Amino acid sequence: MKHHVFVIFCSFFIFFSCSKEATLPVHDDSYFNYFPLIPGAERIYQVTSIHIDAPTNINDTAIYFLREQVLDTIIDTLDYTIYLISQEKRTSDTLPWQHVQHIAIRKHQRKIVKIEDNMAYTLLQFPASTSITWDGNEYNNKAPEMYSYSDLSANYGHENMILDSVLVVKQSFFESLYTYTFKEEQYAYGIGLCSKTDYVFESQPTHANININMPIKERITYGYLHTYLLISYSIPE
């Protein structure tokens, strides 16, 4: 675990020490309640992952549970507070949790920035408004990916859980005759991430007998569909 923490720590130092922006004062800290970073906070998701390869008759579905726990904080040499989060998974509530990885989160420039697999992503930017956009990849070397808020007061519902005051972040959307991409995350006030959707697939008529007049979602040849749905949470006072 010490090795993982060290790598995350170094990654944050590199990403933020290279930033040309000066740290701005945050006038309204309440915005950060859309991603509570309180040690002991816990969120559990039901994750569904589907992989499709129609030409080889592959249609694999995996369903498991993912637990995220805010473990601790680290202060680096730039006086940045880094929040360490543990991710664990299991396929049944009768099985023990198995460690997956550590990720880290920082409040930076009125933003929530995540480090995962040594890559930084800007998840949220405040103050929230449907008129703003930001590059989710501004702190990594990937191609720009412009995020925006599509809703500032949505509702989230799953089984017996109903949440309001939900921010909806549109991360990516593209649709053509042959490709479809959709990425979206939702954050509930006082709770954090409550829903995540990631669809990427294509439909190639050369690989199968496909009617391109049908909706692309009904004629997938290759692709994956990932969803995270919040099923329980515990946020310390």
**pLDDT single digits (tens) 105-154:** 998 889 999 999 989 999 999 999 999 999 999 999 999 999 999 999 99
For residue 134, give its domain range: 2-17+42-234
Establish if 185 belongs to a structural domain: yes
* 141: DSSP letter: S
What is the pLDDT averaged over residues 17-32? 53
Establish if 134 belongs to a structural domain: yes
Please tell me the total count of domains within the chain.
1
Contact 133, 122 (CB under 8 A): no
Model confidence at 176: pLDDT above 80: yes
Quick one: 75 exposed, middle or buried, by C-beta within 10 A (0-12, 13-18, 19+)?
A: exposed
What's the pLDDT at 104?
93
Model confidence at 52: pLDDT above 50: yes
- Helix and strand element counts for the chain (H, E): 1, 12
Establish if 28 belongs to a structural domain: no
Query: Is the pLDDT higher at 29 or at 103?
Result: 103
| The model's pTM | 0.85
CA atoms of 217 and 208, how far apart (whole Å): 15
Q: pLDDT-based confidence at 162, cuts 50/70/90?
A: very high
How many angstroms from the chain centroid is the CA of residue 207? Answer: 32
Establish if 126 belongs to a structural domain: yes
Model confidence at 194: pLDDT above 50: yes
Establish if 30 belongs to a structural domain: no
Model confidence at 157: pLDDT above 50: yes
Establish if 26 belongs to a structural domain: no
CB atoms closer than 10 angstroms to residue 237: 3
Establish if 137 belongs to a structural domain: yes
Contact 149, 168 (CB under 8 A): yes
Contact 106, 19 (CB under 8 A): no
Q: How many CA atoms lie within 13 A of 84 on its CB side?
A: 17
How many angstroms from the chain centroid is the CA of residue 227? Answer: 10
How many angstroms from the chain centroid is the CA of residue 110? Answer: 18
Establish if 24 belongs to a structural domain: no
Residue 140's contacts (CB-CB under 8 Å, 6 or more residues apart) are: 15, 119, 120, 121
